[in-house]
Amino acid sequence: MQTLTVNGNNLEVDAEPDTPLLWVLREQLGLTGTKYGCGVAACGACTVHIDGMPVRSCQVQLQDVRPEETITTIEGLSPDLSHPIQQAWLELDVPQCGYCQSGQIMAAAAFLKDYPDPTDEDIKAGMTNLCRCGTYNRIKAGIKRAAELS
C-alpha cells in the first residue's frame, strides 16, 4: 500500500511499485481523464502536474512518487471548467476528438505559469504534446486567449 495525494485527496493505492503512475491513476484510482497514447514519453497524452510541474505520467513509477508530492490531474485542474485554459478552449472550440486534450490542457496550464505572455515562438518551443487531429493552431490561439483571461 502506498498513499498518493491526488487532486487534494489522500488515496491508498494497491499496485506493484513499478506500475506507471498513468495506469495507477486510470486503473487503481479511476481517474481516466489522463490518457494513454504511447507509453514512451513521446505524445504527452498522459501529462499531469506533480507539485505544479508538468510530468508525463507514463514515465513515473508508483515507487518514485514521494509521499509529500501532490499530483493534479485534469479532473482536479478546476472544479467547474473555470481555469483560463479551459475557458479559452471552450470559447475557441479547440478540441476535435478530444483524446489528447487532457494532456494538452495540463501542459498548457503549466506552460502558462512560466510564460504568462507567450509569443508564438514560445508556444512552438514549449508545447510538444502530439495531437493527431491537428488542433495545434487553435491550441496556440487558445493559450494566447487564456493569457488574456488570466
Judge contact between 112 and 85, C-beta under 8 A: yes
The binding site for ligand FES (CB under 6 A) comprises 36-39, 41-46, 56, 58, 95-101, 131-133, 135
What minimum distance in Å lies between the beta carbon of 66 and another protein?
21
What residues are paired with 55 via a beta bridge?
48
61 contacts which partner out of ligand FES, another protein, none, CB within 5 to 8 A by kind?
A: none
What minimum distance in Å lies between the beta carbon of 1 and ligand FES?
25
Judge contact between 128 and 44, C-beta under 8 A: yes
Q: Which residues contact 69 (CB under 8 A, 6 or more apart)?
A: 5, 50, 51
11 binds another protein per the rule CB under 8 A: no
Span interacting with another protein, options 36-44, 49-57, 64-72, rule CB under 8 A: 36-44
CA 16 to chain centre: 23
DSSP result, 98-117: -TTHHHHHHHHHHHHHH-SS
Q: Toward ligand FES, which CB reaches closer, 115 or 136?
A: 136
What minimum distance in Å lies between the beta carbon of 6 and ligand FES?
17
In 14-133, beta strands by DSSP E: 47-50, 53-56, 70-72
Q: Give the 3-state secondary structure of residue 148.
A: helix
46 contacts which partner out of another protein, ligand FES, none, CB within 5 to 8 A by kind?
A: ligand FES
| Interface residues toward another protein, by CB under 8 A | 15-16, 19-20, 23, 26-28, 30-40, 42-43, 45, 73-75, 77-78, 81, 86, 89-90, 93-102, 105, 123-125, 127-140
